[in-house]
Amino acid sequence: MALVMYDLDGTLLDTADEIAEAVNLTLKEFGLESVSVDQVRNWIGHGTGWLMKRAWEEQQGPADANWDKVMQRFIHHYEATAGTTSTPFPHVLETLRKARDYGVKQAVVTNKERRFADRILQKHGLMDQFDLIVCGDSLSVKKPNPGMINHCLDTLGVTNGESLFIGDSEIDVSTAKAAGVLCWAVPYGYNLGRPIADAPARVNTRAKLFYANSLKRLLSSTLIFQFVCIKTMAHLLRYVRVRYAVDFLV
């Protein structure tokens, strides 16, 4: 395994609270009621503009509002809240360090804008863990377009056959599948409010069986990131090499 690519929100870090705070500060400025953190969590995945639009529509914000102004205020608030209350999911930090110790290249592939992704990673001291960070405004495309993953492969000089993408959503699964890259989906993320295991349109039967059985048996009942322990990391890497995993290439 030469390269592991990670989604950010819902995979590496739980960022819902600080995003919700910025959303609600923005809504309040325009005289609208707040939305819940659970609602915001279900809207994460397509970038902040899409998310803010969902919150605006949910609270029946004026259709003729100056959207540039709304987003300017959101950006102002999110620049203040980004990295303040977000937390790494269990075992993430150890996993990143262990993968690096093994000489595995690592990258972040997120639809979040660069200014926010960098701020969050910096505040958690994670910038030096990654060889490349590809954001929603880095290229002309976003996930699920495979161009983001292909950019990682080309930039880092790695083939899709020796790479792994780890995410939490159907968007991530579709991106990896389109790029021909092995994909593992963590069960604890956002996925627009839907369990990732219940995504028959995107996850084939073989993948669902692995998710439900082999993943739990190999790692734990809930967390893919427990491969941080050396004894399980070694097992995980062997499985990756023989492509015995959640394989979306079928």
Instruction: Locate CATH 1.10.150.240 in the chain.
Output: 16-81
What residues does CATH 3.40.50.1000 cover in the chain? 3-14+86-241
The topology (CATH level 3) of 16-81 is: DNA polymerase; domain 1 (1.10.150)
Furthest-apart CA pair in the chain: how many Å?
58
Q: What is the pLDDT of residue 194?
A: 85
Q: How far is CA 125 from the centre of its chain?
A: 18
CATH number belonging to the domain at 3-14+86-241, selected among 3.40.50.12780, 3.40.50.1860, 3.20.20.150, 3.40.50.1000: 3.40.50.1000
* Per annotation, catalytic residue among 7, 9, 168, 172: 7
Tens of each residue's pLDDT in the chain, 250 residues: 799 999 999 999 999 999 999 999 999 999 999 999 999 999 998 889 999 999 999 999 999 999 999 999 999 999 999 999 999 988 888 888 888 888 899 999 999 999 999 999 999 999 999 999 999 999 999 999 999 999 999 999 999 988 989 888 889 988 998 999 988 888 888 988 888 876 544 444 333 333 333 333 333 333 333 322 223 333 344 444 433 333 333 2
DSSP letter at 89 equals: P
- The pLDDT assigned to 202 comes to 43
From first CA to last CA, the distance across the chain in angstroms is 20
Cα separations (Å) of 38 from 43, 63, 91, 100, 193? 9, 24, 23, 33, 8
β-pair type (182-185, 163-167): parallel
7 is catalytic: yes
